[in-house]
Chains A and B, each alone.
Chain A
Amino acid sequence: MICKEYTVLSAEGLHARPATTLLNVVKKFKSDILLKKGDMEVVAKSMLGILTLAAKCGDKVSVTIEGEDEIEAAKAIEHLFLEELKNQ
Chain B
Amino acid sequence: MKGIGVSPGIAMGKVCILEKKEITLTGAIIGAADADGEIGKLDDALKAAVQEIEGLKSRRDNALNEDESAILDAHIELLRDPILYDGIAKKIKNELNNCQDAVIKVIESTRQIFLNMDDEYFRSRAADIRDIGDRLLKQLVKSSSVNISKLDENVIVVAHDLTPSDTIAMDRQHVIGFVTELGSKTSHAAIIAKIREIPAVVGCSALGSVKNGQMLIIDGSTGEVILNPDNKTLSEYKARQEDFMKKCTRLKLLKDLPAETADGHRVTLAGNISEPGEIDRIVQCGGKGVGLLRTEFLYMDRDCFPGEEAQFEFYKAAALKAGTNPVIIRTLDIGGDKNLGYFNLPAEANPFLGYRAIRICLDRKDIFITQLKAILRAGVFGKLKIMFPMISGIQELREAKKVLEAAKAGLEKDNTEFDRNIEAGIMIEIPSAAVTADILAKEADFFSIGTNDLCQYTLAVDRMNEKITGLYDHFHPGVLRLIENVIIQAHKNGKHVGMCGEMASDPLAALLLLGMGLDEFSMSAPSIPYIKDVIIRNSMQKAREVYSRVMEMESSTQIIEYLQVVSK
Bound-state CA distance A48–B87 (Å) is 12
A15 CB–B CB distance under 8 Å: yes
Q: Within the complex, which residue of A38, A45, A57 is in contact with B276, where a contact is CB–CB below 8 Å?
A: A57
Known: A23-B77, A58-B311, A60-B310. A49 touches B83 (CB 8 A): yes
In the complex, residue of chain A having the shortest beta-carbon distance to the beta carbon of B118: A54
In the complex, residue of chain B having the shortest beta-carbon distance to the beta carbon of A56: B119
Bound-state CA distance A56–B313 (Å) is 12
A79 CB–B CB distance under 8 Å: no
How many interface residues does B have (CB within 8 Å)?
A: 37
Residue-by-residue, is B379-415 near A (CB-CB < 8 Å gives 1, otherwise 0)? Answer: 0000000000000000000000000000000000000
Name the prevailing secondary structure of the B interface residues: helix
Q: Is the CB of A48 within 8 A of B74?
A: no
Q: Within the complex, which residue of A7, A16, A45 is in contact with B71, where a contact is CB–CB below 8 Å?
A: A16
Q: Is the CB of B311 within 8 A of A48?
A: no
Q: Is the CB of B121 within 8 A of A47?
A: no
Q: Is the CB of A16 within 8 A of B70?
A: yes
Q: Is the CB of A58 within 8 A of B314?
A: yes
Q: Residues of A contacting B78 with CB < 8 Å?
A: 47-48
Q: Within the complex, which residue of A7, A11, A12, A20 is in contact with B74, where a contact is CB–CB below 8 Å?
A: A20
Q: Residues of B contacting A15 with CB < 8 Å?
A: 121-122, 125
Q: Residues of A contacting B320 with CB < 8 Å?
A: 86
Most B CB atoms within 10 A — which of A49, A51, A56?
A: A51
Q: Is the CB of B114 within 8 A of A58?
A: no
Beta-carbon contacts under 8 Å, A37-59 to B: 38, 43, 45-49, 51-52, 54, 56-59
Bound-state CA distance A57–B99 (Å) is 38
Q: Is the CB of B277 within 8 A of A11?
A: yes
B117 CB–A CB distance under 8 Å: yes
Bound-state CA distance A47–B77 (Å) is 6
Residue-by-residue, is B58-95 near A (CB-CB < 8 Å gives 1, otherwise 0)? Answer: 00000000000011011001101111100000000000
B113 CB–A CB distance under 8 Å: yes
In the complex, residue of chain B having the shortest beta-carbon distance to the beta carbon of A51: B125
Q: Is the CB of B303 within 8 A of A9?
A: no
Q: Is the CB of A19 within 8 A of B74?
A: yes
Q: Within the complex, which residue of A16, A23, A49, A59 is in contact with B310, where a contact is CB–CB below 8 Å?
A: A59
Beta-carbon contacts under 8 Å, B485-514 to A: none
Q: Is the CB of A13 within 8 A of B310?
A: no
Bound-state CA distance A7–B317 (Å) is 12
Q: Residues of B contacting A52 with CB < 8 Å?
A: 113-114
B275 CB–A CB distance under 8 Å: yes
Q: Is the CB of A20 within 8 A of B73?
A: yes
Q: Is the CB of A58 within 8 A of B306?
A: yes
Told that A20-B70, A60-B310 touch, could you supply 10 new A-B pairs with CB distance under 8 A?
A7-B310, A7-B313, A9-B313, A11-B321, A43-B83, A46-B81, A48-B83, A51-B114, A57-B276, A58-B313
| 26 chain-A/chain-B pairs, Cβ below 8 angstroms | A7-B310, A9-B313, A11-B276, A11-B277, A11-B278, A12-B277, A15-B122, A15-B125, A16-B74, A16-B125, A17-B70, A19-B77, A43-B83, A46-B82, A46-B84, A47-B80, A48-B84, A51-B122, A54-B117, A54-B118, A54-B119, A54-B122, A57-B275, A57-B276, A57-B277, A58-B311
